Structure 1
Amino acid sequence: MNYKNPVLKGFHPDPSVCKVGGDYYLVTSSFEYFPGIPIFHSKNLVDWEQIGHVLTRESQLPLKRLHSYTVSQGIYAPTIRHHKGRFYIIALNVTTQKNFYVWADRAEGPWSEPVTIDGFAGFDPSLFFDDDGKVYLTASAFPGFGPEGILQAELDIESGQLVSESKLIWEGTGGSSPEGPHLYKINDWYYLLVAEGGTEYGHMVTIARSRNANGQFESSPDNPILSNRSTKLTIQATGHADLIEATDGSWWAVFLGFRPVKSTKVHHLGRETNLAPVEWSEEGWPIIGENGRAKVEHDSKLLPLGNPTPWQQKEEFDNDSLSPVWNFYRNPQKNSWSLTEKKGALTLHGQACSLNDLESPAFIGRRQQHFNCEVSTLMEFIPRNEGEEAGLTIFMNENHHYEIAKTLKDGKSILLFRRCVGSLWKVEKELEYDDSSVVLTVKATAMDFAFSFTKTNGEMELFGRGETSLLSTQVAGGFTGLYFAMYATGNGKVSTAPAHFEYFDYIPGDE
């Protein structure tokens, strides 16, 4: 029986996985979205259920911008490991420029406060617990601070203090940006798994091994052991992998890749999590996928495929907490949202900042996970002052987003459709609209988004369109994927009018 990739659709990059008994746990990067580091559980490596987030408190994940040199800050490339009954997750917060780890006795949490690692100039950190009790911190050297390659040091896991100097243990095979390293001990060999080529079309996975955890590492003669570069395969930019031995003794790799829109060769869903089998040569070297290629479909072998978690199509906001699919953009203002102010509705209070700013807007969204889909929300909003605004946005970052919204302009309540593409910003259409409630809808295809609204009498009207390519990673930059989000703003002042969203419907279509 075959399974299909990606096993986690939409923006779920840099996957890392561990096994505890017959259970698998997986984490991915979350960048500036809060809560941070989504965590998933599976019994078969194919069907994953999100069981929460690792970083759920601002003290664990401060996202206040200190600089603006990149549109993607926050959490990069977490690694999850399990050792002596305890889970550990290590990551880099680019916003604070600190490597740290947290721990928990249960994957569902609660997770500890961060233990910061000082004096280590690396990114994409990983942990390895050796048989002799030593703990190794392995990471990628920051560009501009010496030779590029993989750094390693011994770590005191109780205190977070380094107990040895960091040293360069492998420079990779010569590809650009050696990153995302993981160290393993398999059959008395230490294997060092690395991503090279940049997280773009040239991305690849390479591997080296040594009899000593600190090297000298020899490169596999089969490198790269995974890459879809220079092919027409559906999944591209395959890399940043993590190896796992299944309960039946078979080996697998989780890795990132994106699915470009064929006609444009750009992508907007983000880098996704994929799975491929691993075979070992007689000489003891692994190869991922089908001779180093990742396909949409692979043989599941003896993995116990079951029923996947049902898709959560409609959120009616009738609980006292949000389900794990929802995120804020950066740390939310405490007074910016509520699930109790109006029963059976999500209430947003617009802040002075807007979607264009580097602060945290009133914003609650979920990933776009399908090229073809439709989302809609019923919004009740009566703006009282000029500039008060609420609606539905398709959001890549503060410089690239589309929205359909309601606002007050020249004393009149209007609906608007707006596009922001870098420095190009335009309100494409405006229409006077006096009803307090409106259904806002976005219908997505691989090529474009169609924005509509439905009046209280049930009449739907197409209001505007926007190309998906203008919100793609290749245009917008950064390392994330698109979000569908409800938002509110006072555009320079705190809004006096609350916006109530009574439901959010996400209907997947055929891929």
Structure 2
Amino acid sequence: MTARNPAVPGFHPDPSVTRAGDDYYLACSSFEYLPGIPLFHSRDLTHWRQIGNAVTRPGQLDLAGTPTLGGAWAPTLRHHDGRFWLVVTDAMGRGSILLTADRPEGPWSDGVPLHGVSGIDPDLAWDTDGTCYVTYSGLQLDGADAGQHLGILQVRIDPHTGHALETPRPLWSGTGLMFPEAPHLYDIDGTWYLVIAEGGTERGHAVSVARADRPDGPFEGCPANPVLSARSTDRPVQNTGHGDLVRTPDGGWAMLLLGMRPRGLTRAFSALGRETFVTEVDWRDGWPVPRPVEQSAPDAGSGFVDDFDAAVLDPRWLSVRTLHTDWTSLTERPGHLVVHADGSTLDDPRPRFVGHRQQHHTAEVTAHLDTTHGTGGLSLRVDESHHYDIEAGGGFVRARARIGGVVQTWEQPLAPGPVVLRVTAEPVTGTGFEGLGPDTVRLSADSGDGFAELAALDGRYVSAETAASFTGRVIGMYATEGTVAFDRFAYHGHDRPAPAPQENP
């Protein structure tokens, strides 16, 4: 296996992988975004193509009132008995639910709530007699015990009704590092292996493993635990953890896992959020040992262009807490995406926003739009409290930065007619204090005389660490007043090596 890393760049955390014949399928967390839980296909575990989303209808997730960082957490995707099974926590929503589909592209079921599974990061595994086990992290999200962590738990369930068949029992919960989570259970040649994450999903993230003769234990931990971690190293890929094992096409083993590519003088800021990586796994004395995660050499980059000529939007488009099909149209003005505003802005929990994940450290996004009947633009968004916007309408073009409770706006007159808006992210290359942040975000507009820059902003304030976010940057189109017609969206990005890490001054 020749790994390409990141395997799925940009905001694609908590990967789970399953094999069906010669095909591999991957699912990731999506939190408050819809459509939810993106699904990918590959034949080699390194080149992935998005084939759809598991959550495409109202009611599958209860996101209407979900707070930021709630929603779809840490799915586990499995192929069993000729069907595809996906178990996920709808955090602060429906709780843990189990969805099924005959084909990975869907349609997926509405989801069966798992009664008696109070926690996050559920896993599915079946014994040889057909018994279904759900193993999960016992973080309590609601009730009087909200915030309490009960370690790794397990319960047998009826997967068709979602009912627990017993009282949950504690399992092996790691080496004592903080926040044991992301359990995955496997029967490998008659031995049951329990792989978990611990150390927190930040820089201390790690993978640890235990084994037993039975799916319910007792488990013994690997003497070399944690078997994978990038903490306290100078590796360009940090936060490595939340791994899922799978056999490779040549009969070996690999692990799909999350990681981050921090930038800046002290590598303190991750603009793209948590991404999906892949690494090979060796076996020593009956234990799986993942190799350190390597970052691929930069390539020529890639792009995504949508002229809105298709009958439906590409599955890579996503919106916040609502489905964009409810307030956009591809037929109202052929060759355009028409976005209908409702008065909400990017500061609100349900903006009229349709976005694409930023997947490269160097990125340029342009949008051609007609604001004759409304106001709208482009936004680089992390959440409703951290976003940079460039918008047109009402005879003006304005750039806007929202950083927590601080808002600043730059404005200049705009000539009537179509306008092109642009957002660029350019990595900072300085090695002194001018290189503290990961990049500079530039907001520009062109109404016919070439691009004029309205603002150049520090990318530190729209990074995962500053926003304390589980997500990453999403750059997209929005409308705040009337209707806005977009007739072209173009994204192009590439990566270049990060500057060598520097000691703290």
TM-score under structure 2 length normalisation? 0.91
Aligned twin of 2:155: 153
Which residue among 397, 408, 412 is the counterpart of 1:415? 397
Q: CA deviation at 1:93?
A: 0.5
Q: CA deviation at 1:280?
A: 0.6
Aligned twin of 1:287: 289
Contact 1:332 1:361 in 2 (8 A): no
Once residues 417 and 423 of structure 1 are traced to their aligned partners in structure 2, the CA distance between those partners, rounded to angstroms, is: 17
Aligned twin of 1:448: 440
Q: CA deviation at 1:268?
A: 1.5
Aligned twin of 1:304: none
Q: CA deviation at 1:127?
A: 0.3
What letter matches 1:148 in structure 2?
L
SS of the equivalent of 1:161 reads coil
Once residues 364 and 486 of structure 1 are traced to their aligned partners in structure 2, the CA distance between those partners, rounded to angstroms, is: 5
Aligned twin of 1:471: 462
Q: CA deviation at 1:76?
A: 0.2
Which residue among 258, 279, 293 is the counterpart of 1:276? 279
Which residue among 421, 424, 429 is the counterpart of 2:406? 424
Aligned twin of 2:102: 105
What letter matches 2:411 in structure 1?
E
- Is the aligned partner of 1:392 residue 2:378? yes
Stretches of structure 1 lacking an aligned partner (at least 5 in a row): 299-307, 491-496
Q: CA RMSD in A?
A: 1.7
Aligned twin of 1:301: none
Once residues 172 and 32 of structure 1 are traced to their aligned partners in structure 2, the CA distance between those partners, rounded to angstroms, is: 29
Which residue among 245, 251, 257 is the counterpart of 1:243? 245
Once residues 397 and 357 of structure 2 are traced to their aligned partners in structure 1, the CA distance between those partners, rounded to angstroms, is: 25
SS of the equivalent of 1:470 reads helix
Aligned twin of 2:499: none
Once residues 342 and 147 of structure 1 are traced to their aligned partners in structure 2, the CA distance between those partners, rounded to angstroms, is: 52
SS of the equivalent of 1:445 reads strand
The share of aligned pairs that are identical, in percent, is 39
Contact 2:303 2:493 in 1 (8 A): no
SS of the equivalent of 1:348 reads strand
What letter matches 2:358 in structure 1?
Q
Contact 1:125 1:181 in 2 (8 A): yes
Which residue among 395, 405, 408 is the counterpart of 2:391? 405
The range that moved more, 429-438 or 418-427, is 429-438
Deviations 1:380-423 (A, max 9, x none): 0025xxxx631100000000001011133xxxx21111100000
Contact 2:303 2:492 in 1 (8 A): no
Deviations 1:181-238 (A, max 9, x none): 0000112111110000111000000001111211111110011111011001000000
What letter matches 2:441 in structure 1?
F
Once residues 113 and 336 of structure 1 are traced to their aligned partners in structure 2, the CA distance between those partners, rounded to angstroms, is: 22
Distance 1:333 1:20, change over 3 A: closer
Which residue among 435, 459, 475 is the counterpart of 1:484? 475
Once residues 505 and 147 of structure 1 are traced to their aligned partners in structure 2, the CA distance between those partners, rounded to angstroms, is: 44
Deviations 1:129-171 (A, max 9, x none): 1111100001001155766311100011121111111111122
1:299-448 counterparts in 2 under 5 A? 311-332=302-323, 335-358=326-349, 360-383=350-373, 389-408=375-394, 413-427=395-409, 429-446=410-427, 447-448=439-440
Aligned twin of 2:75: 78
Aligned twin of 1:28: 28
What letter matches 2:113 in structure 1?
T
Which residue among 263, 268, 274 is the counterpart of 1:265? 268
Contact 1:336 1:351 in 2 (8 A): no
SS of the equivalent of 2:150 reads coil
Aligned twin of 1:305: none
Contact 2:238 2:260 in 1 (8 A): yes
SS of the equivalent of 1:356 reads coil
SS of the equivalent of 1:313 reads strand
The range that moved more, 442-451 or 214-223, is 442-451
What letter matches 1:19 in structure 2?
R
Once residues 323 and 495 of structure 2 are traced to their aligned partners in structure 1, the CA distance between those partners, rounded to angstroms, is: 34
Once residues 323 and 296 of structure 2 are traced to their aligned partners in structure 1, the CA distance between those partners, rounded to angstroms, is: 39
Once residues 171 and 28 of structure 1 are traced to their aligned partners in structure 2, the CA distance between those partners, rounded to angstroms, is: 23
Aligned twin of 1:124: 121
Aligned twin of 1:504: 489
Aligned twin of 2:435: none
Deviations 1:254-307 (A, max 9, x none): 0000000142521110100000000111x2011001xxx222259xxxxxxxxx
1:168-247 counterparts in 2 under 5 A? 168-247=170-249
Once residues 346 and 461 of structure 1 are traced to their aligned partners in structure 2, the CA distance between those partners, rounded to angstroms, is: 25
Once residues 167 and 385 of structure 2 are traced to their aligned partners in structure 1, the CA distance between those partners, rounded to angstroms, is: 41
SS of the equivalent of 1:229 reads coil
What letter matches 1:507 in structure 2?
H
Contact 2:62 2:94 in 1 (8 A): no
Q: CA deviation at 1:4?
A: 2.9
Contact 2:137 2:182 in 1 (8 A): yes
Stretches of structure 2 lacking an aligned partner (at least 5 in a row): 428-438, 497-505
Number of residue pairs matched by the alignment? 477
Q: CA deviation at 1:334?
A: 5.5
Contact 2:3 2:278 in 1 (8 A): no
What letter matches 1:398 in structure 2?
E
Deviations 1:63-112 (A, max 9, x none): 1115x4xx211100000001110000000011315100110111111111
Contact 1:452 1:460 in 2 (8 A): yes
SS of the equivalent of 2:88 reads strand
Q: CA deviation at 1:123?
A: 0.5
SS of the equivalent of 1:3 reads coil
SS of the equivalent of 2:229 reads coil
